[in-house]
Amino acid sequence: MQISRVRNLRQVQLQGLGQVNVFYGPNGSGKTSILEAVHLLGMARSFRGSSARSLITHGTADCVVFGRVSSPAYPSPVPMGIQRDTTGDAQIKVGGTQLRSVAELVEHLPVQVINADSFDLLTGAPGARRRYLDWGVFHVEHRFLEQWQRFQRCIKQRNKLLRHGKMRATELDVWTRDLAVSGAALGEYRKAYFEQLAPRFVQIISRLAPALEGLELRYQQGWDRSLDYASALENAVEVDIEQGYTHTGPQRADIKVMIKGRLAAETLSRGQQKLVVCALKLAQGQLMSDQGKARCVYLVDDLPSELDEAHGARVCELLASMQAQVFITCIEQADIERLWPDSGGAQMAMFHVEQGSVEAVIPGSVIPREGTPGEAAEPHVLANGRQLAAVAVPPAKYTNSSSIEK
């Protein structure tokens, strides 16, 4: 994997990436920026939600991330790269072919993030939980994206009419009918996905935190369950006209995380909340794997924080059992070494990060391993999985590069 001009990572080449990739070092060294680069490669944006300009190294015009990806669709690793400039424009290539949309990119490399912002799944607004749900539906239901886009167009136009206050009833009816069709489809896709997700979540959280008995997920579709969506819209039309926007529908859907009848966010400790967040993310990866989809790549920022050693080890054991590729950060080298289940060390790659420089380290050692510049690395490919492999190219080939290599 090659990272160019991402925050303080001016020129970084990661060779010998494995199933488990640990990046350790002091705060502010660039560890999280490495996770951002992987997320950029899979999602065309940073998980920090910042603008492209703040992601790009100060004083430079663009950033480039390049890697090789293997998946069920690509048994042999294929080159994959993205270039973003300070205006926000992106060029994306997979196998040398330019992609037309971010949606095409996301299908190739599904990434899950577990970091401090992930607590929003419990404590944040419903929009965070809808995005979580829709991420999962997108990856298992190929018809979802078309209906989601159609719904967004319809509700935007309907709300525009409602805000203006003066409209022909027939014009509002047209958008209402289209909204009812796409909204009902979204509701069905989400409900079907949730019914498969919920039992996997319960199974995983019982392994991570057996003491949290009675924890459950509840899905709220966004309108009265006794009505179809068309009827719900019809019943609410007067209120919609009065208030100037659409009150009912998938845009108000939510997932409630409950424990013994109360919201989990109101009763659980910070550490317990982190275990619930991990279970939510791991359940999505498990569902994808069970359905024969690609395995997720997990980006875990500072796993040891908020967790004691026993619970941190349980999270690592589950990640290992899922055979997911993991990029994980910590402060000290031993933080993850002592948590990850012993498998001979063959699958773990370790890197020390300091002031934007990354150096490979032999797991279990304290002395950085000296590498030969430009030395080729054998890509690590997970059978039937999807993950990044090492990039076997000389660093000099990418020096000051501002385009994606084919």
**Domain boundaries defined on the chain:** 123-293
Question: According to the model, what pLDDT value does residue 298 have?
Answer: 98
CA distance readout (Å), 397 to 11, 13, 110, 214, 404: 11, 11, 28, 56, 11
d(CA 228, CA 249): 10
- Backbone dihedral angles phi then psi of residue 328, each to the nearest 5 degrees: -135, 140
CB 227 within 8 A of CB 185: no
Overall fold of domain 123-293: Glutathione S-transferase Yfyf (Class Pi); Chain A, domain 2 (1.20.1050)
Show the tokens assigned to 116. Answer: 């401090």
Chain mean pLDDT for the chain: 88
Question: According to the model, what pLDDT value does residue 343 have?
Answer: 62
Show the tokens assigned to 275. Answer: 């275990």
Question: According to the model, what pLDDT value does residue 24 have?
Answer: 97
- For tokens 């997979």, the residue is 94
CB atoms under 10 Å from CB of 156, counted, come to 11
Give the pTM: 0.87
Q: Which residues pair with 226 in a beta bridge?
A: none
Helix (H) or strand (E) holding 206: helix 169-208
Question: According to the model, what pLDDT value does residue 366 have?
Answer: 54
Which of 31, 66, 30, 36 has the alpha carbon at shortest distance from 51?
Answer: 36
| Low-confidence residues of the chain: pLDDT under 70 | 50, 166, 343-346, 364-406
Question: According to the model, what pLDDT value does residue 37 have?
Answer: 97
Question: According to the model, what pLDDT value does residue 382 have?
Answer: 30
Which of 297, 277, 393 has the alpha carbon at shortest distance from 41?
Answer: 297
Question: According to the model, what pLDDT value does residue 55 have?
Answer: 93
